[in-house]
């Protein structure tokens, strides 16, 4: 009885549409593509620093304490 249950459970297992290595390659390629997107936006804040030179940020002291 136990042997038949194991055989039926093994035979009824769903088959993957691709081999597992294909899923790994798809995941790796998505990871590399997203990494390239992140890499392409590096140093964006420094490229546009001339647009924000007149405004004060959160870290600049304005002479008064607002807390």
How many domains does the chain divide into?
1
**28 within domain boundaries:** yes
Domain range for 33: 17-42
**58 within domain boundaries:** no
**2 within domain boundaries:** no
The pLDDT of residue 2? 75
**Per the structure block, which two tokens stand in for 15?**
């088959």
**56 within domain boundaries:** no
**10 within domain boundaries:** no
CA dist list (Å): 13 to 3, 24, 37, 64: 16, 20, 38, 69
Instruction: Give yes or no for residue 66 having a pLDDT over 60.
Output: no
The pLDDT of residue 5? 79
The pLDDT of residue 26? 98
**48 within domain boundaries:** no
Q: If you ran DSSP here, which 8-state letter would residue 29 be given? A: H
Q: Could you read off the pLDDT of 2-60 as tens digits, one per residue?
A: 788 777 776 666 788 999 999 999 999 999 999 999 999 888 877 766 666 555 556 65
The pLDDT of residue 19? 93
């Amino acid at each position: 009885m136990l042997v038949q249950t194991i055989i039926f459970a093994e035979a009824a297992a769903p088959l993957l549409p691709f081999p597992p290595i294909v899923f790994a390659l798809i995941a790796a390629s998505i990871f590399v593509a997203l990494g390239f997107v992140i890499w392409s936006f590096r140093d964006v804040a420094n490229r546009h620093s001339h647009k924000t030179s007149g405004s004060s940020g959160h870290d600049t002291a304005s002479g008064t304490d607002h807390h």
